[in-house]
Amino acid sequence: MSSTVPQLRKSLKKSSPGLRHERALWADGADVVVGMDEVGKGAWAGPLAVGAAVVPKDRRIYKVRDSKLLTEAEREQLFDRIADWCEAWAIGMVSHRECDELGMSAAQKLAARRALDGLGMSADRVLLDGKWDFVAQGTSTMIVRGERESLSIAAASILAKVTRDRLMREEAENHPAFAFGENKGYPCHRHRSALQMLGPTTIHRRSWAFMDALAWRGIERVVPDHGQGQLFV
Q: What is the pLDDT of residue 229?
A: 39
Residues of the chain with pLDDT under 50: 1-2, 227-233
**Phi-psi category of 52—alpha, beta or left, where left has phi over 0 and alpha has psi -120 to 50?**
beta
Contact 124, 33 (CB under 8 A): yes
Q: What is the pLDDT of residue 179?
A: 96
In the chain, which segments carry CATH 3.30.420.10? 10-171
Q: What is the pLDDT of residue 228?
A: 38
DSSP assignment letter at 45:
B
10-171: CATH topology: Nucleotidyltransferase; domain 5 (3.30.420)
d(Cα 94, Cα 48) in Å, to the nearest integer?
5
Contact 186, 169 (CB under 8 A): no
Q: What is the pLDDT of residue 43?
A: 96
Q: Alpha-carbon Rg of the chain, whole angstroms?
A: 19
Beta bridge partners of 232: 222
d(Cα 118, Cα 90) in Å, to the nearest integer?
5
Residue 171: helix, strand or coil by DSSP? Answer: helix
Q: What is the pLDDT of residue 209?
A: 75
Q: What is the pLDDT of residue 231?
A: 36
